[in-house]
Amino acid sequence: MAARISSVTTGGAPPGPDGIPEATVTAEEFGDDGYSLACVRVARRLGPIYRWRISDDYAPLLVSSQELVADVCDDSRFGKDLGAGLRFAREYIGDGLFTAYTEEENWRRAHTILRPAFAVDGLRGYHAFMLRAARRLLDRWDQAAGQGGTGPTPVDVPGDLTRMTLDTIGLAGFGYDLESFTREEPHPFVRAMNGALTYSRLQVGRAPGAEDPDLTGQYRADCATMAQTVDEVIRARRAAPSTGPKDLLDLMLAAPYPQTGELLDELNVRFQVISFLIAGHETTSGLLSFALYYLMKDPETLHLAQREVDVAFGADPNPEPAFAEVRKLTYIRQVLQEALRLWPTAPSFDRRPLHDTLLAGRYPVRAGETISVVTSMLHRDAVWGDDVELFDASRFGRDQMAQRPPHSYKPFGTGQRSCIGQQFALHEAMLMLALLVHRYRLLDHGGYSLDVRQTLTLKPAGFTMTLARRRAAERERWTTGAPGQQNPGTPEQGESASRPDAVA
Ligand code: MNH
């Protein structure tokens, strides 16, 4: 059922003098589905470590076994690196959190100031915004389900979920409504953002001086549009300070760095806002799209997910779950974690040795060189058993999680540079997924077969499905079932204390 990352089985390359094979990648192997998926194909051929000479001065090492990844996650010997794509993105997101070097003062400042916004108390304040954006998606999908006699029309799953996650981060982070569901054309910021991201992607691996002047002109215009939108948002907030709980923008504008009492400077705030708008939506919408794909294809998993939300929300056709209720949906969380195992939507991250060192005690690596973790291969390491392509949410039951070695699951990166928005993303995704499986049956109208593509992040391309509203009786069967089947309880009972093991 699961689409497999296709493997190429032509012969291996001879290892170099350091024992590391060097990849020569044919155009066919490179394919057209994105750099990270090509890295996976090469890893299948060359094994868990290889060097890929992309240009004369850029030849990252790629690692993908649990053993090697565990070593590069040692924060005392390795730190975050910016691969070619992120280095390029510094043109428009500068030293924002995502693209700052750890040594840059602005990384520590922003990390210290913004961290509290992503702890439980911060998250609680975003719940209402998440619910509001989720509601917009349900309204659209109710229409598509064909209320009022018209037949169901297919929904664009990744497209609509991207609208939802974008509205969420705009509202929750910055009090700014991107109104993604009511526009015919994307918001100018969104169009500019996609243009700039596409342009950066095209630049990776392109020789210096080989820019296309038309594209470069458009790119400059896109960067200016992003900056303008964000400066407007900032001006509006300065003119009318918010009265509710502090959001990200309040902290960015007014919270001092405790060590020096200084605020983030104006340019850095602009970089932060753009960074959060980008980092805060694509990955989460991809995650939800993959989770819906597996639920649509796998009735048994869907059944368990529906049982959990039906018991939690009851027969109420329009539940408005509270913050704490969402956090108790452990099976829904497991479905999301398993989706991120098979398709980590941020498919790789980069590390670099702080000093010359031996990787895993045997491969010499130099200070400052780029070592990319191929997360989607790590998540298929033998530590995951012998049926790694199988979607199986029980892998994230508490006992199974405790048995796996550390650093076998890295969808959110690692250590101090891991994703600051992890709990934000999981809460948003749990809420949305819970509302969806409570409300609809998920119908595979076209026999969709998984086509994973990387733009910036991974998405199931061309994924549409149709929906049918569930009836109250379907939701009540768990609690009012036949004698002997009463109240089966939630799946994985007693696991409500379990936390994702994402960042070890
Ligand atoms: Mn997020 C860093 C994955 C959702 C904001 N994120 C990272 C990294 C990964 C990642 C991997 C580490 C990158 C690296 O080492 O170079 N993020 C995800 C995934 C999801 C996600 C898979 C959703 C699913 N991220 C979010 C959300 C937000 C966010 C939501 C904001 C609300 N992420 C960030 C920021 C960083 C980051 C900011 C950089 C943090 C730092 O380096 O200090």
Q: Is 421 in the pocket of ligand 1 (CB under 6 A)?
A: yes
Three-state DSSP class for 460? strand
Find the catalytic residue in 99, 162, 283, 345.
283
Find the catalytic residue in 39, 73, 223, 419.
419
Residue whose Cα lies nearest atom 18 of ligand 1: it is 412
Residue whose Cα lies nearest atom 8 of ligand 1: it is 419
Residue 97 Cα to ligand 1 midpoint, Å, equals 9
Give yes or no: 223 in active site. no
Rounded Cα–Cα distance for residues 197 and 456 (Å): 7
| Token digits of residue 437 | 């499986």
Residue pair 287/429 in contact (Cβ under 8 Å)? The answer is: yes
Residue 10 Cα to ligand 1 midpoint, Å, equals 35
Rounded Cα–Cα distance for residues 465 and 158 (Å): 11
Q: Is 161 in the pocket of ligand 1 (CB under 6 A)?
A: no
pLDDT in tens, the chain (504 residues): 344 444 333 345 667 778 899 988 777 888 777 778 888 888 989 999 999 988 788 899 999 999 999 999 999 999 999 988 888 889 899 999 999 999 999 999 999 999 999 999 889 999 999 999 999 999 999 999 986 667 799 999 999 999 999 999 999 999 999 999 999 888 999 899 989 988 887 776 565 566 677 788 999 999 999 999 999 999 989 898 888 778 899 999 999 999 999 999 999 999 999 999 999 899 999 999 999 999 999 999 999 999 999 999 998 999 999 999 999 999 999 999 999 999 999 999 999 999 999 999 999 999 999 999 999 999 999 999 999 999 999 999 999 999 999 999 999 999 999 999 999 999 999 999 999 999 999 999 999 999 999 878 899 999 999 999 999 888 988 765 544 444 444 444 333 333 333 333
Give yes or no: 464 in active site. no
3-class SS string, 5-71: CCCCCCCCCCECCCCCEEECCCHHHHCCCCHHHHHHHHHHHHCCEEEECCECCECCEEECCHHHHHH
The pick from 82, 341, 419, 424 for probing ligand 1's pocket by mutation, whose C-beta has the most ligand atoms within 8 angstroms, reads 419
Q: Classify 494 in phi/psi space as left (phi over 0), alpha (psi -120 to 50) or beta.
A: left
What's the CATH number for 22-476? Answer: 1.10.630.10
- Per domain, the residue ranges of the chain are 22-476
Three-state DSSP class for 216? helix
Residue whose Cα lies nearest atom 16 of ligand 1: it is 349
Crossing angle of helices 266-279 and 157-174, in 10° steps, is 150
Atom from ligand 1 closest to the CA of residue 248: 32
Residue whose Cα lies nearest atom 17 of ligand 1: it is 419
Rounded Cα–Cα distance for residues 216 and 283 (Å): 26
Residue pair 394/400 in contact (Cβ under 8 Å)? The answer is: yes
Find the catalytic residue in 391, 412, 424, 463.
412
The pTM of the full predicted model, rounded to 2 decimals, is: 0.91
Give yes or no: 412 in active site. yes
- Residue 220 main-chain phi, psi, to 5 deg: -60, -40
The CA angle 230-231-234, to the nearest 5 degrees, is: 90
Crossing angle of helices 422-439 and 299-313, in 10° steps, is 90
Which contiguous run of DSSP H or E holds residue 142? helix 120-144
| Token digits of residue 296 | 């649509």
Residue 478: DSSP 8-state: T
Show Cβ contacts of residue 154 under 8 Å, excluding neighbours closer than 6 positions: 144, 445, 446, 464, 465, 466
| Token digits of residue 125 | 């304040």
| Token digits of residue 192 | 């500019």
Q: Is 106 in the pocket of ligand 1 (CB under 6 A)?
A: no
Q: Is 108 in the pocket of ligand 1 (CB under 6 A)?
A: no
Rounded Cα–Cα distance for residues 442 and 450 (Å): 16
Residue pair 343/302 in contact (Cβ under 8 Å)? The answer is: no
How many C-beta neighbours within 10 Å does residue 137 have? 23
311-321: burial string, b at 16+ Cβ within 10 Å, e else: bbbebeeebeb
Of 113, 101, 162, nearest to 136 by C-alpha is 162
Rounded Cα–Cα distance for residues 165 and 63 (Å): 31
What number of helices (H) and strands (E) belong to the chain?
A: 19, 13
393-424: burial string, b at 16+ Cβ within 10 Å, e else: bebbbbeebeebeebbbbbbbbbebbbbbbbb
The CA angle 484-399-339, to the nearest 5 degrees, is: 90
